[in-house]
Structure 1
Amino acid sequence: MAGMRRRGSGREPGADLAELAVRASKDARGVDPALLDGYLEVLAAISVTRHRIGDDQKRLRHEVGGRAAAQGVALRDLIDLYLSATWIAWPTLPGVEGAAGTEAFREIGEAVFRAVDATVVELAEGYEQAQRWWVRQEESLRREFVDDLLDGRNLGQLAERAERFGLRLAASHVVAVVTASEPFLDGGAVARQVEASLHLRLGSRDVLVTTKDSLLVCVVPGTLVDAADEYVRQVSLAVGADVRWRAGVGRAQPGPGGAVRSFEQAKHAVGIAAKLDLPGHLHKAEDLLVYQVLLRDSAALAELVGVVLEPLRTARSGARPLVDTLAAYFATGRVATVTARRLQVGVRTVTYRLSRIKALTGYSADDPEQAFTLQVAVLGARLLDWPEHDVP
């Protein structure tokens, strides 16, 4: 290493190397010169021996790349540090200073640049490997947090962990879920697009879009009044026109346990909407309270369905066409012509079925009081999947 000492300076080589490292750091926007970690000494040795860089050095540069990633150093700045160190050190390398003739310079240059190439490759691979590890760690932490948040586990620790993902759980939150004909994937394109769009449109980072049990889930502060409608709009843009989907929205609920309560309400809302084939994409829990009241006493509801509708099973075509006719009849305001169009049958078929229903059950769909009993029974049948499944 004697050649690395400045001519006539009388200084130790290490002092000169440290000075070169500082100069390289300044040239590379102040990247910590410690990340060179013996690189200049390696270049000095290679300029003399003209050997290839060894496996130990390759492993070291790989580790340095990972270390730089952990420190938050940009990859381009790390590579800039090494390239700057190379050209700054070049004139003082002992092999260069002692070279005699063009051929010697050529061989030294080839050996040094070959070492630089191998070094940069190892730095980049180590850096990218560390980045991938951190991404996997972040995804794992996010998945664990989401599961605890929506399952109601470890509530005492949720508030502190939530800040990492932009949520303040002391406030009220609303949860919206989307179910579609195709399951939503964790970290998929739809989830990423919807979350990015919501951050932009709502002007807030306190929005979490994730997946849970094949549902696309959105958690937003209760103060963002229009967030649910905007969420539905962004979902419609992301999934496309060919995908069938529904959204359910829970009510605003406070505290760390509020998200799981709103999540359950949202799932319940979308489940009711699917069973009743309610029109539209967006279904809010607060608008479906009457159905929740019906389901709250499932035993009474099952008894009502059994007593009122069970006789329809004896019809020649079974109970299903008659139940569907009643559902369409009530949904269209008890107008036979509109009911016929919806069911794609003739008006006479509708009136015949209504007559058969009255004959079998004793309830008339055109009598206001009896119609109410029939309508509640039909709602119960759809909520309980009757007549495909027997009521308990």
Structure 2
Amino acid sequence: MAISELPADLLADLLSGHRQVLAEHAATGRLPAREALDAYRAAGRRAARLGVPLRTLVDGALAAGEGLPEALPALRRAVSALMEGYERAQLAAIREEEQAWREFVDDLLQGRAERLAERAEHFGLRLAGSYVVAVARGMRDGDQDRIERDLIARFGSHNVLVAVRDGLLVCVAPATLPAAVGEFTHHVRARFPPGWRVAVGRPQRGPGGVVASYGEAAQALELADGLRLKADVVKAADLLVFPVLLRDRGAIEDLVTSVLSPLLEARGGHEPLLETLEAVFASHGNQTAAARRLGLSPRAVTYRLERIRRLTGFSPDDPTQRFTLETAVLGARLLGWPTSPGFGR
């Protein structure tokens, strides 16, 4: 914006008294007093709020000093004070925008729906369609800024939202843009230290859908940890049965206690036997494949399964008993059996 493009008298109003300050300095040699410098800073802040370019403001201040070469020291201080006030106003505006962004993200992920769509548009996001939320655990300082910068550079700020919530790095992307979640996972894999994990919620529609997908992704992380899954990336859609199991905690606790408690009496402890069952279930009943998973001989796996059958009365070779055993093992992992306070030995 050139000086000629400013509204009439705006620049003159911002620099009111400036020519007089310069003239007084030229006549007396006295530099501007503190009150005058404070007025310049206030003018700089006001110019920033009004959207007057800093270059235009400085040009106007310099123009007022033409013909007064002896006023250069005062002019230098005046311009410095104008720029200081301007920069402070810009910094305050940035902080206000950052605060508004943090509040918007918190409201979005918690489902506080007040003017969410309107506020989203302010940040370049459109919430009318379906969105997918991915969360990553294991973030270090600085990871958020780098990943956010890379994703926005590729997909645009109107397509992806990257934020931190409850210690998790969160990525919100349109369901029609699955590459964004893939790219998010790629950057997490490249930057996070060992032990990271990404969980992906199901596509959901609208602002409320963002909340639902985020909740599913966060729960999928907890389930993956409880089940001791080895996968670095888990999908909520693949774990839908587990929230169903946990809805009746009392029934699951009773199943786990009834079926697995005899394993607590096994020599060597219950854990090797649980791990054997998990390996067999993961291998679809193939004991040779389970042995490879465990680093054991097939004979050792057969021996352990026989011990389980003798102790519990359940055998993974029987379809009905296999389902009961597998459900009990999953419940045990999810509920932290046998050390959880809900269980007794």
TM over 0.5: yes
Partner in structure 1 of residue 132 of structure 2: 174
**Structure 1 residues 153-232: aligned runs within 5 Å:** 153=112, 155-180=113-138, 182=139, 189-203=142-156, 205-232=158-185
* Maintained 8 Å contact 1:62/1:125: yes
Residue in structure 1 matching 2:21, options 31, 38, 42:
42
Cα distance in 2 for partners of 1:358, 1:373 equals 13
Q: Secondary structure at the match of 2:32?
A: coil
Cα deviation, residue 327, structure 1? 1.3
Deviations 1:6-33 (A, max 9, x none): xxxxxxxxxxxxxxxxxx93599x9952
Unmatched runs of 5 consecutive residues or more in structure 2: none
- 8 Å contact kept, 1:59–1:122: yes
Shift of 1:227: 2.7
Bigger mean CA offset, 375-384 vs 68-77: 68-77
Q: Which amino acid aligns with 1:319?
A: H
* 2:319 is aligned with 1:361: no
Cα distance between partner residues in 2 of 1:39 and 1:80: 13
Distance 1:32 1:206, change over 3 A: farther
**2:91 alignment partner in structure 1:** 132
Query: In the alignment, which residue of structure 2 is the partner of 1:372?
Result: 323
Distance, in Å, in 2 between the alignment partners of 1:264 and 1:177 is 10
Shift of 1:306: 1.3
Mapped to 2, the partners of 1:73 and 1:278 lie a distance apart of 57
User: Aligned partners of 2:160 and 2:62: how far apart in 1?
Assistant: 42
Q: Does 1:268 align with 2:268?
A: no
Amino acid at match of 1:232: T
In the superposition, relative to structure 1, how do residues 246 and 31 fare at CA in structure 2: closer, same or farther (>3 Å)?
farther
Distance, in Å, in 1 between the alignment partners of 2:189 and 2:57 is 43
Provide the C-alpha distance between the structure 2 equivalents of 1:60 and 1:175, rounded to a whole number of angstroms: 49
Question: Secondary structure, in 3 states, of the residue corresponding to 1:256?
Answer: helix
Question: Identity percentage over the alignment?
Answer: 47
Alignment of 1:102-113 (within 5 A): 108=70, 112-113=71-72
Letter in 1 for 2:19: L
Tell me the distance in 2 between the aligned counterparts of 1:385 and 1:224.
37
Assess if the C-alpha contact under 8 Å between 1:294 and 1:301 holds in 2. yes
Deviation larger for 339-348 or 161-170: 339-348
Q: CA deviation at 1:283?
A: 1.7
AA of the residue aligned to 1:41:
Q
Partner of 1:102: none
Structure 1, 322-331 or 376-385: larger mean CA deviation: 322-331
- What is the total number of aligned residue pairs between the two structures? 340
| Counterpart check, 1:62 vs 2:13 | no
- The one-letter code sitting in structure 1 at the alignment partner of 2:33 is G
Which range is displaced more, 370-379 or 206-215? 370-379
Amino acid at match of 2:45: G
4+ residue segments displaced more than 6 Å = none
Whether the 8 Å CA contact 2:280–2:290 is kept in 1: the answer is yes
Tell me, yes or no, if the aligned pair for 1:166 and 1:207 is still in contact at 8 Å.
Answer: no
Counterpart secondary structure, 1:193: helix
Give the direction of change, closer, same or farther, for the CA distance of 1:31–1:283 in structure 2 (3 Å limit).
farther
User: In 2, distance between residues paired with 1:120 and 1:278?
Assistant: 63
Counterpart code for 2:39: L
Letter in 2 for 1:325: T
Give secondary structure in 2 for the equivalent of 1:257.
helix
Q: Which moved more, 1:117-126 or 1:72-81?
A: 72-81
Q: Partners of 2:302 and 2:55 in 1: how far apart?
A: 77
Structure 1 or 2, whichever has the larger Rg, is 1
CA offset digits 1:90-148 (Å, max 9, x no partner)? x2x3xx6xxxxxxxxxxx3xxx2322232233223222222221122112111111111
Q: Which amino acid aligns with 1:366?
A: D
Distance 1:31 1:339, change over 3 A: farther
Aligned partners of 1:83, 1:189: CA distance in 2, in Å?
41
Q: Deviations over 1:216-242 (max 9, x none)?
A: 1112223323332222123223x24x3
CA distance in 1, matches of 2:76, 2:279: 74
Question: Counterpart amino acid of 1:134?
Answer: A
- Which residue of structure 1 aligns with residue 257 of structure 2? 306
1:46 & 1:367 partners in 2: Cα distance?
A: 100
Distance 1:131 1:304, change over 3 A: same
Gaps of 5+ in 1: 1-23, 97-107
